[in-house]
Amino acid sequence: MPMTRRLLPFQPTLDLLAQRWGSAGPLLAGFPLLARGRPLPVAEIADATGADVHRIEEALDAARCERDARGRLIDLYGLTLTPTLHRLEIGSRALFSCCALWAHVIPKLVATTVRVESVDPLRREIVRLWLSSGGIERVEPAGAAASLAVARREAIAASVGAAFCSQVRHFVSRDSAEEFAAARPSCDVLDLAELQEAADYLHAAIWTAAGARARPGPGPG
């Protein structure tokens, strides 16, 4: 999937993120299941995919997915039940995203429209987005913007959260985004349409890395 020239500096980082999905094929069916908003037993992913539970466990361990005290999944590659600055409404359920970019990918993984409320980290005001598998449907306020970061392989391997996720945010205005990016040399400011383009690229690269066919899974029910 080709990228516009504006996003080319971020392509190596997006490719590195997608490479982390090399063993994630068995887990892709878990997104609409976790989108039901409750801790997800590993056996339910196995049942949905027809994969052996041991294979699912290996994939979860490789991805370092977070679980609760009973071993149930509560975080799958950044779609999480743990509160973050990016709150997702999927049907009547509340979940969260690890970063602004991932919030734009999630509707493609759960095959339904997602309402997002992101906190501008500087102004502490809310950016509201309605996102479908086809992209952005509505944004409030109209002048909202985003940041995206460049990160090296070693930094992503050490902590993808610190190297990337913590720097990828929504903002109520371009001025706020530029103030945030000015203090972070690895960040740049994007229009929301450009962030969506980056999300579309990442989603396509994930399906390639995971060796899966690019088709939506079952809805969250």
**Burial letters 30-62, b for 16+ CB under 10 A, else e:** bbbbbbbbeebebebbbebbebeeebbeebbee
DSSP, res 129 = E
Fold of 25-76: Arc Repressor Mutant, subunit A (1.10.10)
Q: Where are the alpha helices (DSSP H) in the chain?
A: 11-19, 30-34, 42-49, 53-63, 100-110, 153-158, 160-163, 174-182, 192-210
The domain limits of the chain are: 7-21+78-208, 25-76
Report the alpha-carbon distance of residue 126 to residue 144 in Å, rounded.
Answer: 10
Query: How far does CA 44 lie from the centroid of its chain?
Result: 22
pLDDT for 220 = 54
Q: Does domain 7-21+78-208 have CATH number 3.30.450.410?
A: yes
Structure tokens at 71: 């071993």
For the stretch 163-212, pLDDT in tens is 999 999 999 999 999 999 999 999 999 999 999 999 999 999 988 887 65
What is the rounded radius of gyration, in angstroms, for the C-alpha atoms of the chain?
17
Which residue in the block uniquely carries the two structure tokens 């903002």? 171
| pLDDT < 70 stretches in the chain | 1, 211-221
pLDDT for 1 = 64
Q: Is the dihedral of CA 191, 149, 97, 49 positive or negative?
A: positive
Structure tokens at 124: 């502490």
